[in-house]
């Protein structure tokens, strides 16, 4: 299936990135409560897990690898990332 869908998906990804806009359908998520403890009793015993579309996750992964990680490897001298831990490799 990959040879058939690769070109249309690449066109969607490129258009989304170049326009700087995420399609509304990609922003929708299904939120599923997952228990934190073996026998949940109250709402605080659950944590929400957002399940987004595969297309949304792929575009996000591409943007993080292409733009975010390189910014941490060679940051601008006027930026300080000493206390930044999200989206860092390892």
Domain regions of the chain by residue span: 23-73
Neighbours of 17 (CB within 10 A): 15
14 neighbors 55 (Cβ within 8 angstroms): no
55 neighbors 26 (Cβ within 8 angstroms): yes
Confidence at residue 73, expressed as pLDDT on a 0 to 100 scale = 77
**Range 84-90 average pLDDT:** 62
Place 89 in a pLDDT band, splitting at 50, 70 and 90. Answer: low
Which comes out higher in pLDDT, residue 88 or 60? 60
Q: Say whether pLDDT at 29 is over 80.
A: yes
Neighbours of 16 (CB within 10 A): 17
Paired residues of 51 in beta bridges: 30
Residue 43 DSSP label: G
Confidence at residue 70, expressed as pLDDT on a 0 to 100 scale = 83
Place 23 in a pLDDT band, splitting at 50, 70 and 90. Answer: confident
């Amino acid at each position: 299936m990959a040879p058939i869908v690769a070109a249309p998906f690449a066109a969607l990804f490129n258009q989304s990135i170049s326009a700087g806009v995420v399609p509304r359908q990609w922003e929708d998520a299904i939120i599923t409560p997952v228990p934190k403890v073996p026998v949940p009793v109250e709402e605080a015993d659950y944590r929400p897990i957002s399940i987004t579309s595969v297309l949304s996750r792929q575009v996000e992964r591409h943007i993080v690898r292409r733009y975010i990680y390189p910014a941490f490897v060679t940051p601008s001298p006027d930026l300080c990332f000493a206390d930044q831990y999200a989206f860092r490799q390892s």
